[in-house]
Every structure is written in C-alpha cells, then in structure tokens.
Amino acid sequence: MFERANAVVRVRRARFYVIERRGRLHVEDDVVHLDGERVARRGDIRHAYTVYERGRTLVRLTRSRAFGGDVDVEVDSAEEGDRLVAALRLDGARSVGEYTLTDGSLRVGRMRLAIKVLGILFFLAMSELLLFRAARGHDAMLHLLAPTMYFLATIGFAIGTASRAVHASVGADGVRLRRLAGTRFIPFADVAYVRLLGREIELGLRDGSKTVVHYAPEHRYEAEMLVERIEGQRTSQRVRAQAAKAPDADFLARHGRTAEEWMRAAETQHERNATFRTSVVPGERLWEIVEDSAAPATARAGAALALRHELDGVARMRLRIAAEACADPRTRSALESLAAAKQDSAILRALEPLEDATPAHARS
C-alpha cells in the first residue's frame, strides 16, 4: 500500500507531457489511483525507475503507447520512489522489466540503415522506370510490376526494421533477448559483465562471447536503468548462490529423469511425508528454494512440486508472484501451471522443457 496526499501525475507521449493532474494518489491491488480514478495498472507497465528532471524526483512508469504512454509521478525523494515501485511489485526481485533496443553496435546499425535506404531507393527507382516504360509502351505487365516493386520496398523496410529490434526482458533469474530470428535466455550466472559504452550496451558472458545492442538518445535513462538492474540482480544472486547449492535443493532437481518420474519424486520431498527412514525438506525451506532466483530452475520447480498439494489461495498467489519475476519462459510456465492448479497432464507439458543446466544459447 502506498499513499500520497497531494501528488502530481503527468501522462507523457514521446517527449511531451499531454496531461497533468493533482490529487490523492494511492496504490492498491497493483493499480495506481488518483482521486479514486485508475491511472495505471501493473500489467500495463513495462518497467519503472526513478529519474531526476529540472530539480524534481520522478518515478517513471513506462508503458507502451497502446496503454496511453508513460506516467510520471512526482515524489519527494528516491526513497519514496522506491516505496512506490515496491508497492506495485515492480522492483527487480519481483518483476520482469521490458526494454526495447536495437541489435548490434551503433556503427553496424548505421551501416545497416544505409544499406536498407539504398535498397529502398533502388526499388523505388525501378518502379518509376517501369511506370515510365509502361506509359510509353502500354504494356499491361509493366503496369503490374510497378506496384509490385512498391510493395516489395515497403515489405523490405518493415522486415529490415523488425529484424533489428531486440526486446530485452530482465527478471530475477536472468536476461531474455527476443529477436525476429529467435529467443535467447541468459542466466545471471553466465553473465561476466555488463557495461554502458556511449549509446551501446555490452553484455559479456563467461564463455568469452558478448552481445552488443544500442539505443536511441531519448532512451538513455532506460538504458542506464537496464544496466543498473542487471548489475543489481547479479549482485543479489552472488549473495544467495551459496545457499542455492545446499543439498536439499539438489535433491529436488531433475537429474535427467522424465518429467513424470521427476514430479512423483519431488512430491515425496515435503515434510508431510517424513519418516525415520527418509530425508525430507521443511515447508519453509521449500519456499526459500522456489523464491530463490539463484537456485537451478529444476530445483525451483521441484520445490514447487513438493508444495503442490499444500497450496491454498494465499500460497498460490505467493507462487504466482515468484513466477512473475522469471525472465526464463520455461521456469515461468512451470511455476504458473502449478500456481493455477492445473491437471497432471498440463503440468507435465510445462515441466518437459526444463533441464538441469540450461545453456545461455537455449532458445524457446
């Protein structure tokens, strides 16, 4: 719960404020209200961060234009901004931040743009030539070819633009990069460094490879927050890494078993099944593993399986919150299927893609 008696809220489009309102602001049930009217809801927000503009401290709730543009909430301090972000569960530990970038370095991006523009100009010139020759020769085929060339130029421009877009999702467990060519999930354990170099972001992996993307000048704040968020989550994971290697977490992992064998074995690990001959995991420790983004994905899913038959409404919400912070779609799907109390067949389908060691080049 978050409240502010005399709040200033601005809804932005592009670089301009389109509306400014004042009133009582409060956050409840993942919705931002101003004088009782809904301003934004958590599901529409791609990410949130604190910015400083003209001596003011603002919390920027970044939304796509389909949901009305960004929302800026003026606060007294960064600490108050953190409380607002936490009330919406948009902090790094409990959400997935969404960012739109451009593939490759800035130099490569400019070269690709130049090639794309030259290609479009070529198609347009050919279209004009065909129209000119068709007008002089009354050739029906040339009349058809000209609009076809225009169409191909338009399609080529759209595909070229889409192929360069990179949608980065940063969760508590890692970074997911979505391109037109496919999706790649990179666990934080595989990240060696991340740094901001001018208008470029370089993500280096422990295997020596690296991924470079760049951003538009007006998105510098977002780029800085993206790098800060990745670094923050990497630091948190290093702190929790030792606990994630505990033996009880290893008991819950898949270890090459079929999804059905793994599910049955994990369900026996709850303390309700304890006997003097068996070793089980206490319920609260199971929750620690489920909510630990540094733990292996199969250990987290195994802990959720062990808790499966003990979940009430509150516990299902707790599990759903853990799922919402996963950038890895496979881990998220597995936890969500268990939180939704789906049938065994649906749960097994969600568990099947999970592996004990998910490589950074894995695609989904």
Percent of the chain with pLDDT over 70: 83
Site of tokens 């060339």: 149
Q: Are 63 and 46 in contact (CB under 8 A)?
A: yes
Average pLDDT, the chain: 84
Q: Are 240 and 294 in contact (CB under 8 A)?
A: yes
Sheet strands side by side (includes 71-75): 37-41, 31-34, 16-28, 2-13, 71-75, 56-63, 45-53
Task: Read off the pTM.
Answer: 0.77
Q: What is the predicted pLDDT for the residue at 162? A: 61
Higher pLDDT, 310 or 114: 310
Confidence check: pLDDT of 274 > 60: no
Question: In the predicted model, what is the mean pLDDT of residues 21-49?
Answer: 91
Q: What is the predicted pLDDT for the residue at 164? A: 78
Q: What is the predicted pLDDT for the residue at 222? A: 87
Question: In the predicted model, what is the mean pLDDT of residues 36-51?
Answer: 90
Confidence of residue 267 (pLDDT cuts 50, 70, 90): confident
Confidence check: pLDDT of 14 > 80: no
Q: What is the pLDDT of residues 318-351, one digit of tens each?
A: 999 999 999 999 999 999 999 998 889 999 999 9
Sheet strands side by side (includes 210-214): 182-187, 174-179, 165-170, 97-103, 210-214, 200-205, 191-197
Q: What is the predicted pLDDT for the residue at 61? A: 93
| C-beta atoms surrounding 226 within 10 Å | 25
**What whole-number distance in Å separates Cα of residue 192 and Cα of residue 13?**
36
- Contacts with 88 (C-beta within 8 Å, 6 or more apart), sequence order: 2, 27, 30, 32, 42, 45, 48, 61
Question: In the predicted model, what is the mean pLDDT of residues 161-179?
Answer: 87
- Contacts with 116 (C-beta within 8 Å, 6 or more apart), sequence order: 156, 157, 160, 161
Strands 31-34 and 37-41: antiparallel
Class of residue 292 by CB neighbours under 10 A (exposed 0-12, middle 13-18, buried 19+): buried
158: closest CA among 122, 116, 124, 128?
A: 116
Confidence of residue 360 (pLDDT cuts 50, 70, 90): very low
Higher pLDDT, 47 or 362: 47
Site of tokens 């509150």: 314
Q: What is the pLDDT of residues 231-258, one digit of tens each?
A: 999 888 877 766 556 667 788 999 999 9
Confidence of residue 362 (pLDDT cuts 50, 70, 90): very low
- Contacts with 358 (C-beta within 8 Å, 6 or more apart), sequence order: 185, 187, 297, 328, 330
**What whole-number distance in Å separates Cα of residue 148 and Cα of residue 171?**
44
Q: What is the predicted pLDDT for the residue at 283? A: 85
Phi, psi of 207 (to 5 degrees): -85, 5
Q: What is the predicted pLDDT for the residue at 99? A: 92
DSSP character string of 4-15:
EEEEEEEEEETT
Q: What is the predicted pLDDT for the residue at 110? A: 73
- Name residue 20's amino acid: E
Confidence check: pLDDT of 205 > 50: yes
Question: In the predicted model, what is the mean pLDDT of residues 25-47?
Answer: 91
Q: How far is CA 271 from the centre of its chain?
A: 34
Confidence of residue 64 (pLDDT cuts 50, 70, 90): confident
Question: Could you give the residue ranges of the DSSP H alpha helices within 175-269?
Answer: 220-244, 247-252, 259-267
Structure-token pair, residue 336: 């969500």
- β partners of residue 101: 166
Confidence check: pLDDT of 70 > 50: yes
Q: What is the predicted pLDDT for the residue at 59? A: 93
- Contacts with 37 (C-beta within 8 Å, 6 or more apart), sequence order: none
Q: What is the predicted pLDDT for the residue at 273? A: 59
- How large is the C-alpha radius of gyration of the chain? 25
